[in-house]
Structure 1
Amino acid sequence: MYTPGDNRMHPRSTPPPPPPPGLVWQQPNVAALNRFTWNIWLWVVWGVPLVTTAIKYLAPGGTEKLFFMVFTPFVIVGAGCLGWLPRFILKKRGFRYSPSAVSAVFHVHWWAFAMSILAINGSVVTVDVTHVPSPLGQVLPFIARDASNAISGIGFLLVVVSYIVLILLASMTERQTQARTRSWVTLLTMLTTPVAMITLGLVVQALGN
């Protein structure tokens, strides 16, 4: 029987039971950027490979277009399926938003993917070899061939490393982690990743000269 002052038996003092296994776990007050990342995830993983390879194929180029003609379908399907996997892991674990660390690495990964494709230089082989600027170099003329090569190489490396990190974070991030923690890093990576890659490419270009 309940007696005044006995908090152990007061119904309001009883902590709520944990959610049953298999039910969706939802963190209140999820940062908008984390919800935004979750909502655009599937659009990005299929759209970025499709758009970037299409731009590279349609832009002025050289013999590298033969590679894109043959392998573009495999690149799009492979990138889309692999890109979907971290979200699938999160969803199976009960998430319905992207944790802050996952969101940040997600944007680094897909910026790196896009830049690595758009920075690929072209060449036309006839009697002589004629170099064709990359799509990125055609839009930003101050990015010369060496800088484009560096940006593309850095991009491919970042794609591999960031994907491994994405899988690890999706598999290991605690569901009780506050969703707003370090969410500002997501915005920072969205805005600075392409700038940082271009800057590194220009540094390599300057050192080469």
Structure 2
Amino acid sequence: MEADGERAPGVSRRRLLIGGAGTLVVAGAAGYAGRDGIRRWWWRASGKERPRTDGAVDHPGAEWVAASSANWRRAERPDDYAVDRIVVHVVQGGYGDALRVFRDPLHEAAAHYVVRKDGHVAQTVRELDVAFHAGNRRFNERSIGIEHEGYVDRPRGFTDAMYASSARLAAGICARYRIPVDRTHIVAHSEVPGTDHTDPGPHWDWERYLRLVREAPVS
């Protein structure tokens, strides 16, 4: 049986993180299936695989806190899957809560990154790999998930430090994969097709966030 975050277009049953009825559907993921199939076939047939270093991070300054291997799938992105989305999440809990459940093999989900209220960033899954974070297999394969400490109904928890740090993280991701900084390519978890989640919720300031992403320096 596939992990919960790998169903297409399945619904995540993450035991800790926020749930609810999403309304907006971001179209286009299904149309990539054939093209990605060709990419995967070519990459695997080539016999190539990039070297990996334990504890290496993709975002400068991030702390490596490995998620359980049950909560992600090994890949060689962007060579076998194109990466063209960022999915914004809110934990509906604390930073430590997110890291704890991502380390739990029974949780069946993990995002690539977790951002704390003070701006500290943990990376739990390499960007090379497919994290089970969106509740939709195709979105998982082509996206990077950024989790944020806090609650959807507590806007004061979305601090200046959190916005700024997350924006620097997103700007680096966009630069690495040439992702446009707009609401088609940087989406809410609630906007992923098939999800039942509501995060990051109505208090997430998208206008501010995208402006900060565009203004953030990229190292």
TM category, shorter: under 0.3
Structure with higher helix content? 1
Whichever of the two has the greater Rg, that structure is: 1
Structure with higher strand content? 2
State the TM-score, normalizing by the size of structure 1. Answer: 0.22
